[in-house]
A and B are shown apart, each in its own frame.
Chain A
Amino acid sequence: MSIVAFRARIITASLALVLSIMTLWQTWDLPMGTMRAVKTGFFPKVFGVLLLVLSIGMLYQLYLARHDRRQAAEGADSEESVNLRGLVGFSALFVIFVVLCYTAGFLIAAVVSVLGGGFLLGLRKWKLFLLAGGTALMSWLLFDQWLGISLPSGMW
């Protein structure tokens, strides 16, 4: 297992652990019911506990495998890396899209997103503007005008 996969699995298991704790905390007061009449708290509690145990189990498995991971790291593939700048850039872009949809509407949000996305993917100059304008306009025409799906129009 590569270092990236190892770390990604630690993050996955930790997220599952957090989810299980939140589930149990939120549903603790819900009634479990009886065997005859299973109530609303039964499923979340059973699967919350199961998720808690399994996520701890996975973290323990990863702890035991830490030595194998160190050995694998020596022969790690360059493609197994994470482009953190790009990942943060895309995450920011997604947030900007949501904010712009609420404020400026879909068309502007789509133009900005494709401009940002294309730039992060290495597209430059006039091609980028053509792609952004074309994609935003075509998707708006196709979905909003032709298919009748009312896309966000912003604050105006």
Chain B
Amino acid sequence: MEDILLGVASAFSWVNLLFCLLGVALGTIVGVLPGLGPVGAISMLLPITFAMEPTAALILIAGIYFGGLYGGSTTSILVNVPGSAYSVVATFDGYKMTQKGRAGAALAISAIASFFAGTIGIILLTFLAPPIASVALRFGPPEYFAIILLGLLVLSRLTDSSLIRSYMLIAGGIVLSIIGIDQMSGTLRLTFGQSWLIDGLDFTPILMGLYGLSEVIIAMEKKHQKPIKADLSLRKLMPSKDELKRSTAPMTRGSFLGFLIGLIPGPAMILSTYASYAMEKRISKHPEEFGKGAIEGVAGPEAANNGASAGALVPLLSLGVPFSALPAILLSAFIIQGITPGPLMMTENPTVFWALITSMYIGNIMLLILNLPLVGMFASIARIPPRVLMPIVMIFCFVGAYSVRSNMFDVIVMIVFGVVGYLFRKAKLDPSPLVLGIILGPMLETSLTQSMLIFKGDLTMFFTRPISGTMLALGVIVTIWPPIYRYVKRKRAVKNA
């Protein structure tokens, strides 16, 4: 209890409140920019936190995390340009509302839904993360091996229609994670005799390259894109009573649905918006209004992606395992500050943990206050032409990659992965499996090696221990169920024909 109070007090200190405000403002500003979602925002702004005190740094990053999510839908609603992949659904009805002169109402409902879902998500996170973490304290290497393997298997099912492509990227990521000195034996692996490869590849420059620098290269192809124009005044922001009433139930459903989807490995925020939209359309008394400016089509998905963002923090904070790109970059922010998220975080750094949770509540309130009156100003950021903005992003990426270890090699790694990120965009491939392969690869190897050592090479213990057995059984179901389902469906179709 004392730890909780200390954390709350720390979050309410003037310095941390200021960093929280700065984080949500910066996150919203960057989130508004088309193409740069919260992942891009955090990777770009991560270097700012390097020299900061851990609690303040993590509060700033948490602010950017939620701010980036808020900002992403603004351009979707105003000009039909999604800020990132999870904001695509906001264009379906949000932009139609703008065309009908209800842009203000759509933006306001988006802000209220995000606040509502964010708050519910953080409440659930507050109550779920500690018990899961206490259970996780009893986890041994087999449980960690099983949960990481399950995460990778689920992710491979969700990110691409082709299993071969997903598995290839995961395997590629794991191979890249092997580069450098082996932590267990001290043997050098895949270093090609080069001393600069001994420390291996840090995943922060890789993330900056894949998500940030590739955006700069892509911008070159869109340099003739017209600047965004929209008329926004406070008067036009307020939704009507009827619109508020119609939004309440979709917001509530979206919040819980999003949180549950957030717990699942993979692109949870994107999936949650589509799932919420489909659900609202199915249960609506007027499904024909969807796609033509239905307020429910804005409220539900907007709540869902914020709920999912809070849900995605549960495995990171309680198990120390990130299941998608966004928590993965948060993990790098934690590690840079010398804090390892996971079951021990609540006992080793309780003040930081509870200050972070408290700052999320504060940040959500700040976001609502910022978003409603200042939405017009944030929208104007999207009017900055890419040819002005992208060179600045490029310099931020260079400095960010260099700052991780004060090493030019990391800048070179970032540049290489910037080109790889560009290639992935052209190939229409999601880089998440590669990123998670790089991050989870060392954890997977360590847990497997330790498991085999502890249980003297007995493979059956993976299946006889209840948690690891359940996880692996789920992994098998996730892998074989879709082809079986497709086969049965095809058979039935042939039979009916």
Binding site for B on A (CB under 8 A): 1, 4-5, 8-9, 11-13, 15-16, 19-20, 22-23, 26-27, 30, 34-40, 42-44, 47-48, 50-51, 54-55, 57-58, 61, 79, 81-83, 86-87, 90-91, 94-95, 97-98, 101-102, 106, 110, 113-114, 117-118, 120-123, 127, 131-132, 135-136, 139, 142-143, 147-152
Contact A135 B403 (CB under 8 A): no
Contact B178 A102 (CB under 8 A): no
Candidate in B189, B392, B420, B427 with the most chain A CB atoms within 10 angstroms:
B427
Q: Give B395-433 as 1s and 0s: 1 = Cβ < 8 Å from A's Cβ atoms.
A: 110110011001010011001001110111011110000
10 more contacts with CB within 8 A, not counting A36-B452, A54-B168, are A20-B175, A44-B178, A51-B172, A79-B221, A97-B398, A101-B408, A110-B398, A120-B220, A121-B220, A147-B47
Set of chain B residues within 8 Å of A43, measured between Cβ atoms? 174, 178, 441, 445, 448
Contact B182 A9 (CB under 8 A): no
Contact A118 B391 (CB under 8 A): yes
Set of chain A residues within 8 Å of B448, measured between Cβ atoms? 38, 43
Set of chain B residues within 8 Å of A95, measured between Cβ atoms? 415
Candidate in B418, B423, B429 with the most chain A CB atoms within 10 angstroms:
B423
**In the assembly, what is the distance between CA of A120 and CA of B223, in Å?**
9
User: 10 shortest A-B CB distances, which residue pairs?
Assistant: A35-B457, A8-B427, A121-B387, A36-B457, A54-B168, A8-B426, A117-B391, A51-B171, A147-B51, A114-B391
**In the assembly, what is the distance between CA of A27 and CA of B426, in Å?**
32
**In the assembly, what is the distance between CA of A95 and CA of B419, in Å?**
12
Q: Which of B82-90, B159-167, B243-251, B261-269 binds A?
A: B159-167
Report if B219 contacts A (CB, 8 A). Answer: yes
Q: Give B457-491 as 1s and 0s: 1 = Cβ < 8 Å from A's Cβ atoms.
A: 10100000000000000000000000000000000
Set of chain B residues within 8 Å of A102, measured between Cβ atoms? 408
Checking B162, B175, B396, B418 against A139 with a beta-carbon cut-off of 8 angstroms, the contacting residue is: B396
Candidate in B412, B449, B453 with the most chain A CB atoms within 10 angstroms:
B449
Can you name the residue of chain B whose Cβ is closest to the Cβ of A82?
B426
Set of chain A residues within 8 Å of B453, measured between Cβ atoms? 36-38
If A23-B190, A26-B192 touch, whether A151 touches B216 (CB-CB below 8 Å) is no
Contact A94 B415 (CB under 8 A): yes
Checking B184, B406, B408, B459 against A150 with a beta-carbon cut-off of 8 angstroms, the contacting residue is: B406
If A35-B457, A36-B452 touch, whether A136 touches B189 (CB-CB below 8 Å) is no
**In the assembly, what is the distance between CA of A45 and CA of B165, in Å?**
20
Checking A48, A97, A127, A131 against B175 with a beta-carbon cut-off of 8 angstroms, the contacting residue is: A48
If A143-B47, A143-B399, A152-B402 touch, whether A36 touches B394 (CB-CB below 8 Å) is no
How many A-B pairs have beta carbons closer than 8 Å: the answer is 190
Q: Give B154-188 as 1s and 0s: 1 = Cβ < 8 Å from A's Cβ atoms.
A: 00000000101101100110111010001011010
If A27-B190, A44-B189, A58-B165 touch, whether A149 touches B426 (CB-CB below 8 Å) is no
Contact B185 A149 (CB under 8 A): no
Contact B167 A151 (CB under 8 A): no
Interface of A, secondary structure class, is helix
Closest CB-CB distance, A135 to chain B, in whole Å?
5
**In the assembly, what is the distance between CA of A94 and CA of B208, in Å?**
14
Candidate in A5, A82, A110, A143 with the most chain B CB atoms within 10 angstroms:
A143
If A57-B164, A139-B395 touch, whether A86 touches B220 (CB-CB below 8 Å) is yes
Checking B192, B390, B420, B427 against A117 with a beta-carbon cut-off of 8 angstroms, the contacting residue is: B390
**In the assembly, what is the distance between CA of A64 and CA of B95, in Å?**
40
If A16-B168, A16-B172, A131-B388 touch, whether A83 touches B396 (CB-CB below 8 Å) is no
Report if B456 contacts A (CB, 8 A). Answer: yes
**In the assembly, what is the distance between CA of A91 and CA of B47, in Å?**
23
Contact A91 B419 (CB under 8 A): yes
If A13-B168, A50-B171, A54-B171 touch, whether A98 touches B412 (CB-CB below 8 Å) is yes
Set of chain A residues within 8 Å of B390, measured between Cβ atoms? 117, 121
Closest CB-CB distance, B449 to chain A, in whole Å?
5
Closest CB-CB distance, B480 to chain A, in whole Å?
18
Contact B391 A152 (CB under 8 A): no
Checking B391, B419, B420 against A113 with a beta-carbon cut-off of 8 angstroms, the contacting residue is: B391
Can you name the residue of chain A whose Cβ is closest to the Cβ of B412?
A98
**In the assembly, what is the distance between CA of A139 and CA of B223, in Å?**
24
Contacts of B294-313 to chain A: CB distance below 8 A: none
Q: Give B372-404 as 1s and 0s: 1 = Cβ < 8 Å from A's Cβ atoms.
A: 000000000000001110111011101100110
Contact B399 A61 (CB under 8 A): no
